[in-house]
Amino acid sequence: MTDRVLVTGISGFLGGHVALALLEAGYAVRGSLRDAARAPGVREALRRAGADVSRLEFVALELGRDEGWRVALRGCRYLQHVASPLAVRMPKDRDEMIRPALEGTRRAVAAALAAGVERIVLTSSTAAIMAGHPRNRAEPFSEADWSRPGPGMSAYAESKTRAELEAWSLMEEAGRRDDLAVVNPAVILGPLLDADPGTSALLVKRLLDGSAPAAAHFNLALVDVRDVAALQRNAMLSPRAGGRRHLAAAGTLDLVALARELRARFPSHAARIPLLVLPDWAVRLYARFDADLRDNLGTLGPPRPVDNHQALTLLGRPFTSPAEAAAATAASLIARRLV
């Protein structure tokens, strides 16, 4: 009998790639959707990507509702909890992002424990590792680090930190800490599976379509979505992955370097990609009047080093480079005529 995996948030960028990796590995996948009307589109996207969709089914679930979790996990050997709120603009009320992430994780983990699943894999974020630390920190970030609450922590970073802490707490209370594996990806780029650019690809889209008049030295830790999906799959299966976090980042690239890379690789779009570089002082000045910009000031300036040794071991091969991940995003956007 084929082992079944519940993948929450299957219609999302990462959720779709996790489902693809699992289907390619021979698993049956039950994907959760908030809107059941999206099921045909998700099925078709995965079919076009080469998946055997005869082993794919869907179930309606919401992070904020109790209904459906027990049924969704029936007959599942594993849970991949990928779903989490993500917004282009941070909400004025922080709880609009924090509450669904926290309650959704609580529901998913509790239901999986009740169903007796063998392994839970939770998608967290480097936002649960790197936020709130001194900007001039020289020591590489690792899985031992946790984000520090404070006035500078974004709602997204707080949501990911609190949700992950809740998952570990529930597993420890159940005496099953080693049955949880967490993947903490950086900003995720890579090829799109459908015409929805989601949130991550908007970074590249804005550089390609001319909507970003200038680039700034925002240094971003990046990772390819295919690598994250492989890590999620391997974390589900590897005995050594249980009871651990895995910081998934291939390296860093600032927006100025990213714009330069895209101009070289996609000359037909080069005229729209910004040449103007916004100095750091100007970014900080504008951030006084722009909450979204203020939330990202932690990435301004020199790159913040990360230690990805543990994730590399789990992946079993080198990470795709940040430049290649960004190029794959750009190629998808162009192929789908989204820019």
pLDDT tens across 280-303, in order?
777 777 767 766 666 666 676 778
Q: Higher model confidence: residue 279 or residue 339? A: 339
Top-confidence residue, 304 or 178: 178
Average pLDDT over residues 96-110: 92
Q: Quick one: pLDDT at residue 294?
A: 66
Query: Do residues 246 and 183 lie in contact, with contact meaning Cβ atoms separated by under 8 Å?
Result: yes
Is the domain defined by 4-335 classed in CATH 3.40.50.720?
yes
Calculate mean pLDDT across residues 318-322: 97
Residue 90 has pLDDT above 60, yes or no: no
Note the pLDDT tens digit of each residue in 169-206. Answer: 999 999 999 999 999 999 999 999 999 888 889 989 99
Element (H, E) at 90: none
pLDDT of residue 184: 98
**Averaged over 233-251, what is the pLDDT?**
97
**Backbone dihedral region of 190: left (phi > 0), alpha (psi from -120 to 50 degrees) or beta?**
left
Question: Hey, which residues are catalytic here?
Answer: 160
Query: DSSP secondary-structure letter at 194?
Result: S
Which distant-in-sequence residues (6+ apart) come within 8 Å of 5 by Cβ? 22, 27, 28, 29, 30, 76, 77, 78, 79, 80, 236
What is the rounded distance in angstroms from the CA atom of residue 317 to the CA atom of residue 333? Answer: 27
Structure tokens at 303: 């790159």
Q: Is pLDDT at 163 greater than 60 in this prediction?
A: yes
Structure confidence by residue, pLDDT tens digits, 122-141: 999 999 999 989 888 889 99
The tokens for 321 are 């480079």
Tell me the pLDDT of the chain averaged across its residues: 91
Of 210 and 53, the structure prediction assigns the larger pLDDT to 53
Q: In which band, very low, low, confident or very high, does the pLDDT at 15 lie, cut at 50, 70 and 90?
A: very high
- Name 79's bridge partners: 6, 120
- Say what the pLDDT of residue 302 is: 78
Confidence of residue 1 (pLDDT cuts 50, 70, 90): low
Write down the pLDDT at residue 89: 55
**pTM for this predicted structure:** 0.93
pLDDT, position 92? 66
Spans of all domains in the chain:
4-335
